[in-house]
Amino acid sequence: MSSKEKAPVISEMKNNISSLSPDPRDHLKDPYVLEFLDLKPDRHYLEKDIEKALISQMQKFLLELGRGFSFVSRQQRIATETSSFYIDLVFYNYILKCFVLIDLKVGKLVHQDIGQMDMYIKMYEDKIRGKDDNPTIGLILCTEKDEVVAKYSVLQAAKQIFAAKYQLYLPTEQELIAELERENQILKISAQDLGRET
């Protein structure tokens, strides 16, 4: 092979660095603690209340989201020939080189939320994403994740749709202990399920 043959060298380089490409899971947290919004835990809030509070505290929200996030839009309209839809919050992550769509939900995650986000992503891919951008990511922020819905939906194997919990305040010590015990039970059940499959 002569030094003028670049194709094999480029191919080998791409193979060697493919495992280094960023994974969205490394940049999305769960849960998000939104204590900086100063919303009272004993009040019922609408999704638009949470969104308005996040916008007014954007710098703190960007820090809570993690590295590489830049704000793009609030209630961004995306339309088809027959309908218009509004995405709660849109960010661009310059590390992942992709748009991140955020849908805020007050309450438990339901399968309709996942379907809605899947549609938003497909529309964004078709109408807005540039050719140099990586695939769009959707993040559903909800006050409660339903592990059964997550297990039996596209979230299980999703590479573009994620759900994360948000909390308006840091939990008490007792709440943390209860949450750890709940997560431990989920892990035990998952391990038992894996044992039965093999």
Instruction: Calculate ∠ Cα 116-149-164, nearest 5°.
Output: 70
Instruction: Calculate ∠ Cα 42-44-39, nearest 5°.
Output: 60
Q: Report residues of the chain scoring pLDDT below 50.
A: 1, 20
> Which contiguous run of DSSP H or E holds residue 171?
none
Of the candidate CATH numbers 2.40.110.10, 3.40.1350.10, 3.40.718.10, 1.10.10.10, the domain formed by 22-167 belongs to 3.40.1350.10
List the structure tokens of 15. 């193979």
Distance (Å, rounded) from C-alpha 165 to C-alpha 177?
17
Q: Is residue 88 packed enough to be buried (19+ CB in 10 Å), middle (13-18) or exposed (0-12)?
A: buried
What pLDDT is recorded for position 109? 83
Rg of the chain (C-alpha set): 20
List the structure tokens of 121. 């992503």
Whole-model pTM: value is 0.63
Number of other residues whose CB lies within 10 A of the CB of residue 153: 20
DSSP class per residue in 35-68: GGG---TTS---HHHHHHHHHHTHHHHHHHH-TT
What pLDDT is recorded for position 76? 93
Exposure on the CB side of residue 38, measured as CA atoms within 13 A: 3
DSSP class per residue in 97-158: TEEEEEEEEEEE--HHHHHHHHHHHHHHHHHT--TTSPPPEEEEEEEE--HHHHHTSTTTT-
Nearest to 190, CA basis, from 153, 160, 148, 159: 148
Contacts by residues 54-63 (CB-CB < 8 Å, ≥ 24 positions apart):
54/89, 54/104, 60/36, 61/34, 61/36
Q: Which residues pair with 85 in a beta bridge?
A: 78
What pLDDT is recorded for position 63? 83
- Where along the chain do its domains lie? 22-167, 171-198
